[in-house]
Amino acid sequence: DEVEAKCAALARMLRSASHVVAFTGAGVSTGAGIPDFRSGLNTVLPTGPGLWELPKVDRPSILEQCAKATPGRAHRALQRLWAAGVVKHVISQNVDGLHRKSGIPVEALSELHGNIFAERCTRCSTEFERDFSTICPGGLTGRSCERAGCAGPLR
């Protein structure tokens, strides 16, 4: 079977590699039930058409979907590969925080477009992970740094 052959080839490449970095995007999160932005109206994805394809009034709340989502099979597989020392680093274009929720530590993760559940102090750069969306108009969340002696504004 073609899929088994491709999986075997991938396993051989992973075993022979000295430094594996995974680069992920929307496809990883569609498997966890979060719709992407670009899939056409005729997509076969169970998440349906991309959000940009739908009229604004028909778009589901992506923030709510991200808050409710749990890591999918791809997130869990990457976490296991990281835990086994095979994958050294994960680069993600997604903002949903699911790689962190899967157990991949911040030090082994680059979130290129940020994380809607993370706030960073504009003064001391301490980051705070939240269980709610931190998206706010203007960038500042209105909360202050919790690090002792700082109290800088969070972004």
Identify the active-site residue in 19, 89, 99, 113. 113
Helix (H, G, I), strand (E, B) or coil at 8: helix
CA pair distance 109, 99, nearest whole angstrom: 8
Q: Check: CB of residue 63 under 8 Å from CB of residue 135.
A: yes
Q: How many Cα atoms are found within 13 Å in the side-chain-facing hemisphere of 28?
A: 23
Is 75 an active-site residue? no
Active site residue ranges? 113
